[in-house]
Structure 1
Amino acid sequence: MNRARGLFITGTDTGVGKTLVAAGLAAWCRAKGLDVGVMKPIATGGTRQRGQWISPDAMLLARAAGVDDPVSLINPVCFREPLA
């Protein structure tokens, strides 16, 4: 049986649940014993922390997946404005 190597979650607007679905899937896969990695390549609506823009969504994904990768690896591009 072939297994999925990755999933890409997309949506057409802000606040439609992309991160919630991705976090749920990551947590479910982790609970099943699968090795999980997450990435939010581009995020908006970030907050300024320690001199850089941080995406709360990216941190939620990291917690759901149980990874401790640096934020710059999980979310390399983060903007302040919430955009779709």
Structure 2
Amino acid sequence: METESDVEVGLWDAELDSLLLRVGERFGRVEPRRRMRDYVRGLLGPVGRKNSWQIAEHAGHDTPYGLQRLLSWCQWDPDEIRDDLRAT
């Protein structure tokens, strides 16, 4: 039997997916989009320490290098993403 909190979590999860799809358009390739999704879910999830290793492990990655590459080298504009988030 589904509880009210299960329904709330499902709605929240669907809204987060919708939001990630919108800002995902700011990344030119699918790999950075997936890494961005994994990074955000790791920050919001039950990860004890919010560093690249623990977030990567939570997301099922072998190493944190992909997430670190997203933050250090990938071409994306945080101001545009901020504006996307504010527009919602």
Does TM, normalized by the shorter one, top 0.5?
no
**Structure ranking higher in helix proportion:** 2
Tell me the TM-score normalised to structure 1 length: 0.29
Tell me the TM-score normalised to structure 2 length: 0.28
Q: Taking CA–CA contacts closer than 8 Å with sequence separation of 6 or more, which of the two structures ends up with the larger relative contact order?
A: 1
